[in-house]
Amino acid sequence: MLTAIVCALSVAAATAEAPAPKEPADLQGVWRLESVEVKGEQRPPLGGGEPRLVFDGSKVLYDGEEIASVTADPRSTPKIIDLTFSDPKRTMEGIYTVEKDTLRVCINIHTDGVKERPQDFSTADKENPRVLVFQREMAEAADKTAGLTGFLGLMLGFDPDKGEVTIKGLVPKSAAEKAGFKEGDVVLQVGDVKPTTLVEAIDAVRGRKPGSEIVLRVRRDGKEQEVKAKVGVMPFALAAFLLS
């Protein structure tokens, strides 16, 4: 009898101390980002595309590349999720819920100093939470770039006096930096578009298929030249408003 009680207590203790699964089954698969809530306002993904995340075990894939790792505890209330992004290295704490084929994640984009995990899915009048709403897809698309928004990594500005679009900076390691664009270049033409506004220049890039080539005509030091670049993919952190 004593032996049976000891065994029962041992099993109960082991069950209570069992670690939460790091790869919950309800998160696995392909998820298409439909909207992001920022300060109580629902927005489509930046750039108007359809970014998709693939949860594969503890890995999170985007454009076929691993961009983060995930750990989660579906036993907690609310369910806990942590996303650790690799570039730059940072961990965002959040909560999540899966209802049928809809995944909602409320994540805190503040990763420095004291962190505060969201306790609900409210973002109104709050600076750091983001609510991401995904829809499940049955299979990963053969074309990993399907629905993704084109991106070069140009930080553009507009000079209203001259009516010119200029390059104010370059995103490090981006396609724009690799192609040789320079801060101060004046953008005269993007593909077939001769932009007269900042929006026209941005849309001309975002509308291009990732992986394709695009030629920009710029004026540098008073001389015009063409610069060819391979269109990249808008980073998920930008598309999902995960940057403060």
**pTM value > 0.75:** yes
Is 11 inside any structural domain? no
For residue 143, the model assigns a pLDDT of: 81
Same domain, residue pair 85 and 129: yes
Comparing 7 with 121, the larger pLDDT belongs to: 121
Instruction: Select from 94, 113, 137 the last residue of a domain.
Output: 137
Q: Are residues 45 and 154 in the same domain?
A: no
The answer, yes or no, to whether residue 7 has pLDDT greater than 80, is no
Total number of domains constituting the chain:
2
Examine the domain organization and report whether 118 and 171 are in the same domain. Answer: no
Q: Domain for residue 102, yes or no?
A: yes
> Are 173 and 234 found together in one domain?
yes
The answer as to whether 223 is a domain residue is: yes
DSSP codes of every residue in 111-174: -SSS----SSS--TT-SSEEEEEEEEESS--SSTTTTPPEE--EEEEEETTTTEEEEEEE-TTS
Domain co-membership, 113 together with 185: no
**pLDDT attached to residue 4:** 40
pLDDT at 22: 60
Question: What is d(CA 196, CA 191) in angstroms, rounded to the nearest whole number?
Answer: 14
Is the per-residue pLDDT at 14 higher than 50?
Answer: no
Domain contains 232: yes
- The answer to whether residues 155 and 132 belong to one domain is no
Q: Which pair of structure tokens corresponds to residue 108?
A: 């805190």
The separation between CA 116 and the C-alpha centre of its own chain, rounded to angstroms, equals 20
Per-residue pLDDT, 21: 53
What are the pLDDT digits (tens) for 179-237? 999 999 999 999 999 999 999 999 999 999 999 999 999 999 999 999 999 999 999 99
What range defines the domain where residue 124 resides? 20-137
The single-letter DSSP state of residue 44 is P
Q: Write down the mean pLDDT value for the chain.
A: 89
Answer with the one of 137, 163, 197 that is the final residue of a domain: 137
Mean pLDDT on 114-141: 92
CATH number at residue 224: 2.30.42.10
CATH of the domain at 95: 2.40.128
25 and 123 in a single domain? The answer is yes
